């Protein structure tokens, strides 16, 4: 039984200043074995610094005489470290990311404070610029990897400027103020090497945290961009059977998957329809991997509405990612029955072609 001195209380229990631990059914031989009783306590906000003596009483079995089993446990309350602002932070770049043109990587920045000092600057503007040859991409995230609750992570509110070369974050890079931000703080920022970036190490990126002196950011462009590769497969075959006169249908559904590590940004896309079918809109609907809603790619019809051309359509596919494209079509009322093909061509010059088989039934 631990009786805490005035100014101290239990950190996790509701029994105030008198805490207990029990070990039922445990026997200890003389001079052998140990029992560990852990008591988590805290000092009240009003407790002055100093040493406070608490009393520990140990009762063996049914023995009610605690006089010979009492011990004094001193607890020292120290003056807390003053809460500092962002100028107390030391920021390290943990890795030097390396990418070929068109590839995406992440740069890691670690925030630390001296000797675990609390840092709580409040919501401040943090401005990051990329090294030459790179742009920011994706969502920046934060992680507190060393807390007693394990790693705590989340996304950072951000905005992009200068075509992705500048990243602005408005957040509070706090440290050591609670159990959930103890230790260090790590920012993870996505970078993409631009398609025409020259190989080499660039060291002109920076991280400016409020009024703190900027920190240098480095990244390396390696080699040259590999040719983009793309696989086209017809999917949703259950929609590929149509009837003459049918309108507002999507019989040709194409799934595009990048098969290399090179990102495919914008590309010309041309759809062609056979006799008996034509495109009903100057657009194609798209659904990208990881998206929460479909997108619309705008184009222009020609050749009696049997050709649909999308100039510089934003595919925006990183390596290994997919997108589904589905143009809206109509079947002519006098269309001949049988199997026909709707074609697709990606890129100028083409990097991939494909087709979807559509069956016109009587």
**What pLDDT is stored for residue 207 in this prediction?**
94
CATH 2.60.40.690 location in the chain: 86-221
**What pLDDT is stored for residue 86 in this prediction?**
64
**What pLDDT is stored for residue 83 in this prediction?**
63
Class in CATH terms, 230-360? mainly beta
Tell me how far apart the terminal alpha carbons of the chain are, to the nearest angstrom.
Answer: 89
The pLDDT tens digits of the residues spanning 233-276 come to 999 999 999 999 999 999 999 999 998 777 888 899 999 999 99
DSSP three-state, residue 238: helix
**What pLDDT is stored for residue 103 in this prediction?**
85
Mean pLDDT for back-to-back runs of 10 residues, the chain (362 residues): 89 75 80 79 85 87 68 82 70 93 91 84 93 94 89 93 95 88 93 89 92 90 79 95 95 93 87 96 93 91 96 88 96 94 94 95 90
The CA angle 277-282-284, to the nearest 5 degrees, is 80
Structure tokens at 154: 């989340």
86-221 carries CATH number 2.60.40.690: yes
Structure tokens at 180: 């959930």
Phi, psi values for residue 298, rounded to 5°? -95, 140
Between β-strands 70-77 and 264-272, what pairing exists: parallel, antiparallel or unpaired?
unpaired
Contact 235, 354 (CB under 8 A): no
Of 126, 96, 99, 97, give the one whose Cα is nearest residue 111: 126
**What pLDDT is stored for residue 26 in this prediction?**
78
**What pLDDT is stored for residue 81 in this prediction?**
60
- For 167, counting Cβ atoms within 10 Å of its Cβ (0-12 exposed, 13-18 middle, 19+ buried), the class is buried
Of 155, 141, 142, 151, give the one whose Cα is nearest residue 182: 151
The pLDDT tens digits of the residues spanning 50-87 come to 899 999 888 876 666 656 678 899 988 876 666 666 67
Side-chain half-sphere CA neighbours of 348 within 13 A: 10
- How far, in Å, CA of 332 to CA of 245, rounded? 5
Phi, psi values for residue 65, rounded to 5°? -90, 105
Contact 54, 72 (CB under 8 A): yes
Which residues does 330 contact at the CB level (< 8 Å), separation at least 6? 246, 247, 248, 249, 277, 278, 279, 280
- How far, in Å, CA of 151 to CA of 85, rounded? 23
CATH 2.60.40.3670 location in the chain: 230-360
**What pLDDT is stored for residue 14 in this prediction?**
64
- How far, in Å, CA of 178 to CA of 145, rounded? 14
pTM: 0.51
**What pLDDT is stored for residue 115 in this prediction?**
74
DSSP three-state, residue 86: helix
Cα separation values, 42 from 5, 38, 39, 174, 192, Å: 11, 13, 10, 22, 48
3-state SS string for 240-257: CEECCCCCCECCCEEEEE
Cα separation values, 345 from 44, 222, 270, Å: 71, 30, 5
DSSP state, 249? B
Structure tokens at 340: 């026909």
């Amino acid at each position: 039984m631990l009786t805490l001195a005035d100014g101290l209380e239990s950190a996790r229990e509701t029994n105030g200043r008198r805490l207990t631990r029990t070990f039922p059914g445990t026997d200890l031989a003389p001079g052998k074995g140990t029992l560990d009783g852990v008591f988590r306590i805290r000092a009240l906000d009003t407790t002055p610094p100093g040493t406070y003596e608490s009393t520990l009483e140990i009762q063996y079995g049914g023995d009610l005489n605690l006089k010979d089993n009492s011990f004094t446990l001193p607890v020292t309350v120290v003056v807390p470290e003053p809460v500092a602002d962002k100028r107390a932070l030391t920021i390290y770049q943990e890795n030097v990311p390396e990418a070929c043109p068109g590839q995406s990587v992440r740069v890691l920045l670690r925030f630390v404070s001296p000797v675990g000092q609390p840092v709580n600057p409040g919501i401040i503007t943090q401005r990051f610029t990329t090294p030459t040859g790179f742009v920011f991409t994706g969502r920046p995230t934060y992680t507190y990897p060393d807390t007693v609750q394990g790693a705590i992570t989340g996304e950072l509110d951000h905005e992009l400027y200068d075509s992705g070369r500048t990243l602005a974050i408005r957040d509070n890079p706090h440290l050591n103020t609670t159990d959930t931000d103890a230790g260090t703080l790590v920012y993870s920022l996505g970078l993409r090497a631009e398609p025409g970036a020259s190989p080499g190490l660039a060291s002109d990126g920076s991280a400016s945290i409020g009024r703190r002196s900027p920190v240098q950011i480095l990244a390396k462009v390696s080699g040259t961009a590999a040719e983009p590769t793309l696989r086209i497969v017809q999917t949703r075959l259950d929609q590929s059977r149509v009837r003459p006169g049918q309108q507002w249908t999507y019989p040709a559904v194409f799934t595009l998957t990048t098969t290399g590590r090179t990102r495919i940004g914008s590309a010309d896309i041309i759809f062609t329809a056979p006799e008996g079918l034509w495109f009903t809109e100057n657009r194609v609907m798209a659904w990208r991997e990881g998206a929460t809603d479909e997108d619309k790619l705008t184009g222009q019809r020609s050749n009696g509405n049997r050709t649909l051309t999308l100039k510089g359509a934003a595919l925006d596919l990183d390596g290994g990612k997919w997108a589904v494209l589905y143009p809206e079509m109509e079947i002519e009322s006098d269309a001949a029955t049988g199997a026909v093909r709707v074609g697709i061509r990606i890129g100028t010059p083409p990097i991939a072609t494909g087709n979807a088989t559509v069956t016109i039934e009587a």
